[in-house]
A and B are shown apart, each in its own frame.
Chain A
Amino acid sequence: SQKIEQNSEALNIQEGKTATLTCNYTNYSPAYLQWYRQDPGRGPVFLLLIRENEKEKRKERLKVTFDTTLKQSLFHITASQPADSATYLCAPPGGYSTLTFGKGTMLLVSP
């Protein structure tokens, strides 16, 4: 069955550093992958979408890569700030217009 794995441990980094979050998938060949941010007590918010034929996608300080050979997507936040602290979820498509969400990785950026 399809499996989505994200770093289960929280990622602690210092302000100004680059955060790198990993999303691995198995038994699956998604045509695209989405990344969301979730703050405590709120719903997930869409950040970026990357297609299988795109190696990399950028939006301001965010960068996503998609390696279909490794079956992995990496999510980078450069020059991280305390306001970037949140849980980040990767989500390839499921069936019938749905998404399959990973468990998410909590990022904590300390000043």
Chain B
Amino acid sequence: DTAVSQTPKYLVTQMGNDKSIKCEQNLGHDTMYWYKQDSKKFLKIMFSYNNKELIINETVPNRFSPKSPDKAHLNLHINSLELGDSAVYFCASSQPGEIAKNIQYFGAGTRLSVL
């Protein structure tokens, strides 16, 4: 049973389109994240949510809008896609606190290609 699952695995679309990526975790974690990994393999935090509330938005264009309907789900909607949005997007979850130390569990990633 996959701990953090995200769909779709691949997403190919035209510039200007709107698309969504879904993420679900069954670990009972309070915190979920979206990361972007570009062609240089740098893994950068985009958003962090704790119990459905936005904690961090790391200077991401407002074309990106995360939505957390409950603490087990964090979806990412992207409007007006641009070529530079092509990357692999990872969802992750963690349980903050002294014991768990924010060890993060990642999904398999969504490879987004904007043509």
Interface residues of A (CB under 8 A from B): 32, 34, 36, 41-46, 49, 87, 89, 93-101, 103-104
A96 & B108 in contact (Cβ 8 Å cutoff): no
The interface residues of chain A lying within 8 Å CB-to-CB of B40 are: 103
The interface residues of chain A lying within 8 Å CB-to-CB of B44 are: 101
The interface residues of chain A lying within 8 Å CB-to-CB of B55 are: 96-97
**Apart from A36-B104, A97-B94, 15 more pairs, CB < 8 Å:** A34-B103, A43-B90, A43-B107, A43-B109, A44-B90, A46-B104, A49-B103, A94-B45, A96-B48, A96-B55, A97-B96, A98-B56, A101-B42, A101-B43, A103-B41
Interface residues of B (CB under 8 A from A): 4, 31, 33, 40-45, 48, 50, 55-56, 90, 92, 94, 96, 101-109
Cα distance, A49 to B103, chains bound together (Å):
8
B43 & A98 in contact (Cβ 8 Å cutoff): no
Closest 6 CB pairs of A and B: A43-B106, A101-B43, A97-B96, A96-B55, A46-B103, A98-B45
Closest to B92 in A: A43
The interface residues of chain A lying within 8 Å CB-to-CB of B4 are: 43
The interface residues of chain A lying within 8 Å CB-to-CB of B108 are: 41-43
The interface residues of chain A lying within 8 Å CB-to-CB of B104 are: 34, 36, 44, 46, 99
Given A89-B43, A103-B42, A97–B105 Cβ distance below 8 Å?
no
Partner of A97, one of B41, B50, B109: B50
**What are 25 A-B contacts with C-beta separation under 8 Å?**
A34-B104, A36-B104, A42-B108, A43-B90, A43-B92, A43-B107, A43-B108, A43-B109, A44-B106, A45-B106, A46-B105, A96-B56, A97-B48, A97-B50, A97-B55, A97-B94, A97-B96, A97-B102, A98-B45, A98-B48, A98-B102, A101-B42, A101-B44, A103-B40, A104-B43
Cα distance, A32 to B55, chains bound together (Å):
21
Cα distance, A64 to B109, chains bound together (Å):
27
